[in-house]
Structure formats: structure tokens, C-alpha cells
Structure 1
Amino acid sequence: MSTQQAEGYDIPAVEAWVSANVTGLTAPFKWTRLEGGHSNLTYQLEDTAGRLAVVRRPPQGELLPKAHDMSREWALISALGPTPVPVPAALGFCEDTEVTGAWFYLMGLIDGRPLYNSRQTADWVPPERREILAFSFIDTLAELHALDPDEIGLSELGKKENYVGRQLKTWYRSWNSSIDAAQHDDPRAHSLQTFFLENMPEQGPARVVHGDYGFHNVLIGADSTIAAVVDWEISTLGDPLADLAYALNPWPEDAADIAASPDAATCVPGFPAKSALAKRYADRTGRDLGMLDFYIGFNCWKTAAIIHGVYARYMAGNKSTDGVDLVALRERIDASLAAAEEAISRL
């Protein structure tokens, strides 16, 4: 009998379910915890023949209604599997909470790694292959945005219309509801929201938007190309240019940008500038990027609102502040609003 333990998993029950529902894996498995992935409980499984897979379920405890949506991730990797967008193989999905207390799914293991900081990038990606990685990163996003969600079975993934307008409403509500707890307001948050509402570009055809596309949510192979895109739990349908702007935000344009964020995974020598990635995306997709700075500004404003909400929870005592630099967190709110103003000033 196995003495292994895995948080959130009834190992015998899960192994029995896999044996009955997934081909190509033979229990019992060796379970190894994998870190990352928005706190979802993710384990590598190695079967008796040395074959590898990954199992994933939400964290334990009460969850927000749409948080940690396993069915969404499963639908996306299943639909994208036959397309040019690289994703892990979809192996099996369990909706029976009697098995281990929550929905879970199995996917193929990808030989690659995410990057969270400049040191990891410098260690994993040789200087002569960094342009290859940057172009693979932006080309993969272009491939995603080329897909018609109706044609790949994802027409019900979310509302198609007014993506930016809906986001503005959501995050402005978050900002206002956090003011008292944060003991902090900023007039720029309000003036920028008004600007974005009054100057919103007309949205083109809806596409799948990842929502959090970056080096932290892709697996980069030893050949310095994107081996798989992961963590699809907040993906929806919407404006691809908003998704592009979010993906471009961490990329530096010049030495001053690198100096401002030296620890960012994109801030190592050898990468092309942000503008070069934008041009490559435009060339690949044919999309007009004349209003890209609107979307960049919108994403910076949204980032400020998200951090403001986190700051409010700390200030209200709802989260432990051990090891948390509250001054730095507040400075990030300010910096994000300043970056939003700078972006729209270029329009």
C-alpha cells in the first residue's frame, strides 16, 4: 500500500479513476509536487513504465465562483490541441467530486520551464537564442489570435462584445470598493477610467484571450522556443489587442526600461525591443496597432487596480504582512498609474 501523500488528492481513488478512464498510464504512480500555477494543486505522475503526466485540481477550501476553473482549462487545452498553438495533451477530466473532493484533469508533461526573473532567463536561454525565444513568444500569441473561436468549439467561452468596457467596469468597481480599506485614493485612477471609456477603440472580431500571457505561463523548451502555453483558467473571449498589450507590458524598449525593472524575466541582453515584437505581431496578423498605446495604458491602469485591491486587503488585516513591503506595493500602484498616463500621452 502506498504511503505517499498529495495535498488535496485521495491517491488510491485518483489512481483507480485514471486506470479506468485514461489510456497509456499504468498505476501506481510516483507523485511529485510541481510549484507554480496560481496555487492550483499540481503534481507530476510517473507510472510503472516511467511514463509521465500532470494532474491538476483547485486548492482546498472555499473558492470564489469562477476561480481555479478546471473545466475552462480542460476545454481550452482540448480545443487548442489540434491547432498551431502548443498546449499539453488533454488526457482526462473528472467531474465526479466523490473521487477526491474537486474536479481535476490530467494532461501530458511538457519538457520545458517557465521563467520568473532575469536570472532564470540568463541561465536557461543562451544569448544567441534570445531573439528566437522572443519571436516564438509573440508568434505563439499571434497564432492564438488567428483562431476563430466558433470554428474550434470555444464560442461559449465568454461574452464576445465590449471586452475592454467590461474590464473597465469590473476593475473600477474594485478600485472604489478598496479605497476605504487601503486608506488610499488617487485622482488618476478616476480620470484614466473616464478617458478609456470615452476613447475606446471599436473591438474587432472576438478571439480567445489568454489573459495572463507571459514567460511565467509558458513552458520554454531547451531549443528556446515555446513548447506549451499553460494556465488558461482566466482565459475568455475578447479583444486580442488587449491581450497583446498585456503580453508586451513587461518587455523593455530601451536601456532605461531595463534599468527600471532589472529583475524582470524579459530584462536581459539580447532580446529585441518591445516595438520590434509589436511590429512582428502586426506583420503576422495584419492587425492595425495604431491604438496599441491605448491598450498598453488600459493594462497599466488595470494593474494599478489589482495591486490596489491587494494593498487594501493587507491594510485591512485580511492578509499577513510578514515579509511584505507595503511601501513598495503602494509605489507600484503609483508607478502603474504613471505608466498608464505615459502610454496615453503617446496617442
Structure 2
Amino acid sequence: MSSLTDTGIRDEAVSAWFVEHIDGVRGPVRLERIAGGRSNLTYLATDEPGARWVLRRPPLGMAHSRAHDVLREAEVLDRLRETPVPAPLVAGRCDDDAVTGAPFFVMNHIDGVVLRDPETVTATVPDDHRPAVATALVRALADMHAVDPRDVGWGELADRDDYVSRQLRRWSTNWAEDRVRVLDDIGRAHDRLVERIPVQGPARIVHGDFRLDNCLFSPDGTIGGILDWELATVGDPLADLGQLLAYWAHPDDEVCALENPPTRVPGFPSRDALIEQYLAAVRPDTVPDIDFYIAYNWWKIACIVEGVYTRTLRGAMGASDRSPESFGAQAERLAAQAWRYAQRL
């Protein structure tokens, strides 16, 4: 069996698995790490004639972590198969760690571009098309939140109304139990948020990481696929809106959730415009406390990036284009931002 390198893939074993389990594959299969995500590891798989798939596995050393359960992510995608939500189709899954050291699943490859940074936006989306990209993003979010969880086999969660409190507890526990330092701003922002949780409306599917660079855009500006469903569950849909707004950087923002945010170029609408579009699409019975959900998401993003800092220090992310110290400094900025927003509530 081929050895497991810092890429997280045993090439020969995974290639053989593809040939045996994925319809239409003609080996050998080449696997290449796809840059971008800092959570589950993602790879482009290409067979001999050139057909392509995408493989997802957990970070190195975290094969059975609840926070990186790729087989659960595949189950989420299966639930969405018959809905209007643009999501990849699962082609196969493997729960045998002997193949490549961790569970993994394979999904179909979707052609399109990920608007990951300003350079990609500038090269692919003209200024006058950027409002339409934002509209497509908000429309996709509203369409996802229109799906009744009961219709996709999630009825057991559909009556719960404590999503935010559960998320605050989960992320705080993850941070406290697996950290290499203490960031006071994370702790104090958490305490303020716990005191001010709004009453939850009807439960809907929550993506958990909804933002521009987690979508694949087709050449006509439509969304071919929403990616990275590992955090998806049923809960408060406004958490997704708050996440989108926290990541939606303006050109003059001093602190950004991403180091090089794609929306920091001219032509994109403001955060207020996104809120107006979303509320017009979902028509809530009452005006929601969106400021809370923005503050909550700054806090959650700080917890996530602090987790990435910890994992990169331990070498669990394999080869990276950034140093652990850069993630540590980013987490400090995000934690301070979360506390600034939390104080306004």
C-alpha cells in the first residue's frame, strides 16, 4: 500500500478504490489537493480519459472528529438531492480507514469558478455584473431557507428552537477543550451573546458556512453549486444571513473575516442592500435582530480561525500556504472584532 504523505492521500489505494466503487472510472486516478478551505481537505480526482470528481476527507489526525465528519456531510448532500438547492451529488463514500487513513466521500465535479479573492473577481466578473452575483447569492440562501426540514427527513430537529444556544455551547466547548492559548475576547463576547439570544423563528436548513467563496458560479452568473456542507444542520436561518454579512467585506473595512476578501472591489452592493434583498425574499413576520447574528458570526469565525491556528501548529492541515503565526494573528483580530460587535447589543 502506498504511504500516507502530508497530502492526506494514499494515491495507489485511493485510485484502486475509485476504479472499484465509482461508476465509469478508468484508472489510474490522479489526485490533487484543491487550495482554499481550512477545514476538511478537498481533492480533484481525474481518471485516465479526463473525467473528474471531487474527494473530501478530514484534516490529518482528525479522522473521527465530530466537527469534521465527512460521511455526515455526504448524508446532508443526499438530503438535498431532490430540493431546489444547488448542491453537488454524492457519487460514493468510504468508511474504511485502511484506504487512506480516514473516511472520505466522492461527489460529482461541477464546472464553475470560486470567487475566492479580488483578483479572481476582477478577472472573471465585470463591474456591472457584480450586483447580479450578489442577487444570485441571496436568492440561493432564501431558496435554501424555504425548504421545510421535514420534507428532507430532518423532522426530528424541526421543532427545536435553541439553535444559537447550542452553537454557542458547541463552539465555546471546542475552543476551550482544544486550544494552545486563551483569547479573552472570545470568552467575553461569548458571555454577552449568551445573555442576548433572540427568540428563534421557524427552524430551517442552516448551511453553517454560507459565503461568496463557498459557491461555484457558472459563466452566466448563476450558482452551479453551494459547497462545504460539513456544518449544515437544522436551526435558525438568520445565522446564515449573519455569516454572509460578516464575510461580506466593504472596500474600506479595517477588519475582514477573510485575509483577502473577494468583495473588496468596486461594484458589489452593501451589506444593507443584501439584508433588504433577503428580507424581501423571505418576508418574515417581524423585523429580526440581525445585529445579534452578525456579532454571533464574528465570534464563531474567531473560534474557527483559532481552531485552524491550533491545527496548523500541530501539522494537522498538511502543507499550507500560510504560517501558524499568521492564523494566530488573524484569530486575535477576529476575536477583538467579535467583542466590539457584542458590546453594541
> Structures share a fold, TM > 0.5?
yes
Map 1:237-256 → 2, pairs under 5 A: 237-252=234-249, 256=252
Q: Secondary structure at the match of 2:181?
A: helix
Alpha-carbon spacing, 1:224–1:300, altered in 2? closer, same or farther (3 Å): same
Cα shift at 1:277: 1.2
Q: Distance in 1 between matches of 2:75 and 2:179?
A: 37
| Aligned twin of 1:122 | 122
Q: Is 1:341 the equivalent of 2:339?
A: no
Aligned to 1:24: 24
Q: Measure the CA separation in 1 of the matches of 2:30 and 2:180.
A: 49
Q: Equivalent residue for 1:167?
A: 167
User: Corresponding residue for 1:293?
Assistant: 291
Q: Which runs of 5+ in 1 are unaligned?
A: none
Q: Which runs of no fewer than 5 residues in structure 2 stay unpaired?
A: 316-321
The normalised TM-score by structure 1 is 0.81
Please state if 1:268 is matched with 2:270. Answer: no
For residues 117 and 339 of structure 1, do their structure 2 counterparts lie closer, same or farther at Cα, with a shift above 3 Å needed?
farther
How has the CA–CA distance of structure 1 residues 92 and 38 changed in structure 2, closer, same or farther, with 3 Å as cutoff? same
Match of residue 139 from structure 1 = 139
AA aligned to 1:124 is T
TM-score scaled by length of structure 2: 0.81
Give the 3-state SS of the residue equivalent to 1:222 in structure 2: coil
Distance 2:243 2:289 in 1: 14
**CA deviation after TM superposition for structure 1 residue 322, in Å:** 6.2
Match runs of 1:94-105 below 5 Å: 94-105=94-105
Equivalent positions of 1:315-334 (< 5 A) are: 324=326, 329-334=331-336
Q: CA RMSD in A?
A: 3.6
Structure 2 residue aligned with 1:185: 184
Distance 1:302 1:318, change over 3 A: same
For residues 21 and 297 of structure 1, do their structure 2 counterparts lie closer, same or farther at Cα, with a shift above 3 Å needed? Answer: same
SS of the residue 2:128 aligns to:
helix
Q: 1:14 Cα shift? A: 3.2
- Preserved contact between residue 45 and residue 55 of structure 1 (Cα < 8 Å): yes
Quote the offset at 1:97 in angstroms: 3.0
SS of corresponding position for 1:151: helix
* Rg (Cα) greater in structure: 1
Residue by residue over 1:21-53, the C-alpha shift from the partner in whole angstroms, topping out at 9 and shown as x without a partner, is 322322222333322333534332223333221
Count of residue pairs the alignment pairs up = 334
Number of the residue aligned with 2:319: none
Cα distance, 1:193–1:37 mapped onto 2, change above 3 Å: closer
CA contact (8 A) 2:251 2:264 kept: no
Q: For residues 68 and 159 of structure 1, what CA distance do their matches in structure 2 show?
A: 25
